[in-house]
Amino acid sequence: MRKKKLKIWKPVVLGFTMLYLFIMVLSTWVMELRFAEEFKKSAAQHLSSIRQQLENSEDIMEDNYFNYITAQVMSVEPSSPFQQFSAAIYGTDGHLLAKSENILMQSFYDDSGAHYCHYPLEQLTDGELKTLAEYGQKSYNINTPAGPPPQYRIAIRQTRDSKLCQILVQEITWEQQGSQEGDSYIDPVANSHHSYETESGTNYQETDSKIVWERNYPDAGQKTWKDSQVKALEVSLLFPYLVFGGYEQWLQWTGTEYLQEFDSQIDMSIPKVEQLLTEFNDASYVLPARDILYNPVWTDKNDRLRFYLALRFESHPWAAATHYLTPIYLMGLVLMLAGIAKIIYTANQISKQRNAVEEMRRDFTNAMAHELKTPLSVIRGFAENLLEHNMEEKRDYYLTQIIGQTEQMDQLTAEMIAISKMDSQQLVLAKEPVSLSELIREQITRLKPAIQEKNLQIQYDCGRDFVIDGDRNYLAKAVWNLLSNAVSYNLPGGRIFIQTDTRSCFIENTGNPLSQEQLTHAFDMFYSGDKSRTSKEKHMGMGLFLARKILMLHHRNLSLENTSAGIRATIK
């Protein structure tokens, strides 16, 4: 049995696994093509967006303003976590002017307008940048605040010649505005009062603060931050992807060397500038996993070339497709396992049924041989006696016994034919109302000699008849077998109690109670749990089996149970 299961299990699992992998790989490939096209469009949109901002900015000639533009563009909400960008600006001579990087920005206003100061963070270690980014997620940024006040404030101190000498992170305590004037908290770092208004119009004021992180530049020179009179200035973090993408996407961006590796100089003559410019509108352009696009930026007034914009990107369409299809993978895996389990279970059930049929066939053959052995032995014995002893006075007795044994064999053969017909799909039962009370009385009449021989008493309680729509001949056979059992296994001088109502019939006889094993196997073919059965009673071990099978064909149930007086057969 175990080897048969393994032979079924292996090809089923292998076949389903190959089918699952083929479907999933094909689906992933189709989705990869879709994401590659989307990423191509996204790259074109980013390139166009940055270029448009640069062309519309008339005051962009200051080098440090390039950092603001590129970093600001990189801070917009990303279209996908599986594609990231960096931008750089090259002058007309091919020198790198600015690129996307992690910077601090300070903004202030005067009569001449807005001014911006930018502080690159090249001196910070990776660990310091990560710490600053974690605080930066919860600090005030250049976008309009939508929620409660920021938990942290980032500030800097600088020397009189505008060199960065200290970075501070403050943890701020806010309360809704409501205290009287004059009670306002003065921040000791900024030496000023801070208030905050959300988009919903709720006003908050700062009530306390403490420094939770700082980074010092001791070699800044001039008057340093140690002088308490040096005022700290609030700044914003311009870390690509941090504001909308979150810390994990910023970490991915800053950890991708390809996005940081802009050449400090590009050759403007070899190859020619025109060959450096990728026309992204070409429908035949195939987006690689990594690429760099160049585009010229002109002035609006005289169409003079101002500088070149370079957009470097990294795309992961396969990863995007895999992430998108993860629920499909899991659902497909569950369906595959369910299919494997169902097929293996069904195959095992079929195998068990086949084995059960094979075992039943062997038992049937053995039982038939055993049942036929007794009458054949009797016939052989009486025939030999007739040959060896020519006794006329016993000749009739021997012949009578031989005829009786052949009748017994004929009855067994007839029962086997009946069972075979009932197992056949071609069996057609007659449909007519059959009175069970009438059938019982008919069969009792046939059994009267055996009843009188055992001196049995028959009691009826058939005030309400039990009528079954079915085949009268088959039902008569079932009733005969039940009554024959009740007579054969009754005690001498006992009784048989018969009761019917509109939905059931009870046939109870006095006798020894059956064991649990006998009750369990009583309806098995050729089961002979009672060793007292003899050929004289002509019980072939098929009576209950045949009776139950006939009643099941008529959608009725037959059960056997012990009672205080004996054994009861119930038809419902």
Which tens digits make up the pLDDT trace of 487-526? Answer: 888 888 999 999 998 889 999 999 888 888 888 878 877 6
Residue 45 tokens, joined = 């949109």
Cα–Cα distances in Å, from 445 out to 458, 461, 483, 511? Answer: 11, 17, 11, 22
Q: Provide the whole-model pTM.
A: 0.58
Q: Is the pLDDT of residue 206 over 80?
A: yes
For 471, other C-beta atoms within 10 Å of its C-beta total 19
Please count the other Cβ atoms lying within 10 Å of the Cβ belonging to residue 175: 13
What average pLDDT does range 80-85 have in this prediction? 86
Amino acid at 179: S
Buried b (16+ CB within 10 A) or exposed e, 431-442: eeebbbbebbee
Q: What does the pLDDT average to over 443-449?
A: 86
Q: Do residues 474 and 550 touch, judged by C-beta distance below 8 A?
A: yes
- Mean local confidence (pLDDT), 84-88: 85
Residue 277 scores a pLDDT above 50: no
- Strand ordering across the sheet containing 495-500: 457-461, 495-500, 505-510, 566-571, 558-562
Residue 281 in this model has a pLDDT that exceeds 60 = no
What's the average model confidence in pLDDT over 335-350?
A: 88
- The more confidently predicted of residues 232 and 113 is 232
Instruction: Name 505's bridge partners.
Output: 500, 571
Name residue 81's amino acid: P
Contact present, 478 and 551 (Cβ < 8 Å): yes
Would you state the pLDDT for residue 333?
Answer: 93
Residue (of 473, 443, 492) closest to 550 by Cα position = 473
pLDDT at 386: 76
The whole-number pLDDT of residue 507 equals: 92
Confidence of residue 130 (pLDDT cuts 50, 70, 90): very high
**What is the structure's pLDDT at 18?**
92
Question: For position 158, what pLDDT does the model report?
Answer: 81
Q: What is the pLDDT of residue 527?
A: 64
